[in-house]
Amino acid sequence: MRRSLLPLALVLGLAARTAAGTVLISEIDYDQPGADEAEFIELHNPDGAAASLDGHVLELVNGADGSVYRSAALDGLTIAAGGFLVLCGNPARVPTCDLDIGPATHLIQNGPDAARLVAAGLVLDAVAWEGVVAGLASIGSDDPAVADLALARIPAAGGPFRPTRATPGGAPLPLPPPWALLATGLLLMPRARDRG
């Protein structure tokens, strides 16, 4: 009698996909006022068990031609249950940075571009900003005129991306309503154009 290895392959494949698929790209800050020195990408493990990142690679993708312009192997890293991992280019400007993937300025292109988390040839998670990249819909844009603004999943465990205060290494904080932003000066009203 011939036994099929298909059930075993399915079980192993699903186990690998479940273990690898739990880590998400949860927050990105790619544009700040002036020189882009505080850029970061945050990964989140929403599961109740630690997640090994062995075999995982974070890739930054140029939206103009689809090429990978920067990649970071994540071998040897683990994200604690419910924890975050922050990748940055300038730990002096991102104090919660867990892995410096350099350079210190202009780590992440402003876009349209994308980031993707890859393991064993599979794209586990991907996000695009400031336009469609490789079939990924844009999550929006990071206003360079506003300091400490980022795009984050709310909730971090898989919600949609929204503008938020940059919280590298911690749960994202939703922005208050626009009227409250006006009071704090974080949101500036556009000037009326002259009618000539």
- Residue-wise pLDDT for 123-174, tens only, equals 999 999 888 887 787 887 777 667 788 889 988 888 888 888 889 999 887 7
Residue written as tokens 């939703």?
A: 174
> Does 9 score more than 80 pLDDT?
no
Has residue 51 got a pLDDT over 50?
yes
* Lookup result for tokens 């300025």: 105
The radius of gyration of the chain from alpha carbons, rounded to an integer in Å, stands at: 19
- pLDDT digits 0-9 by tens, 94-123: 999 999 999 988 899 988 999 999 999 899
CB 61 within 8 A of CB 132: no
Contact at 8 Å (CB) between 139 and 130? no
Q: φ, ψ for residue 10 (rounded to 5)? A: -65, -45
What letter represents residue 84's amino acid? Answer: F
Tell me which of 32 and 18 has the higher pLDDT. Answer: 32
Give the pLDDT score at 27.
94
> How far from chain centre, in Å, is Cα 136?
14
Name residue 87's beta-bridge partners. 41, 99
Over range 73-82, report the average pLDDT. 97
Question: Dihedrals φ, ψ of 187, to 5°?
Answer: -120, 125
Q: Cα–Cα distance between 119 and 27 in angstroms, integer?
A: 19
Strands 51-52 and 56-62: unpaired
* Cβ atoms of residues 133 and 61 within 8 Å: yes
* 42 vs 176, residue with greater confidence: 42
- Predicted pLDDT at 192: 43
Which domains are assigned to the chain?
13-184 (2.60.40.1260)
pLDDT at residue 85 in the model: 97
Q: What are phi and psi of 38, to 5 degrees?
A: -120, 30
Q: Which of 2, 92, 101, 90 is nearest to 43 (CA)?
A: 101
Among 24, 59, 26, 25, residue whose Cα is nearest residue 164: 26
**pTM, two decimal places:** 0.78
Of 72, 7, 17, nearest to 39 by C-alpha is: 72
Instruction: Name the band, by pLDDT with cuts 50, 70 and 90, for residue 177.
Output: low
- Residue 145 has a pLDDT of 66
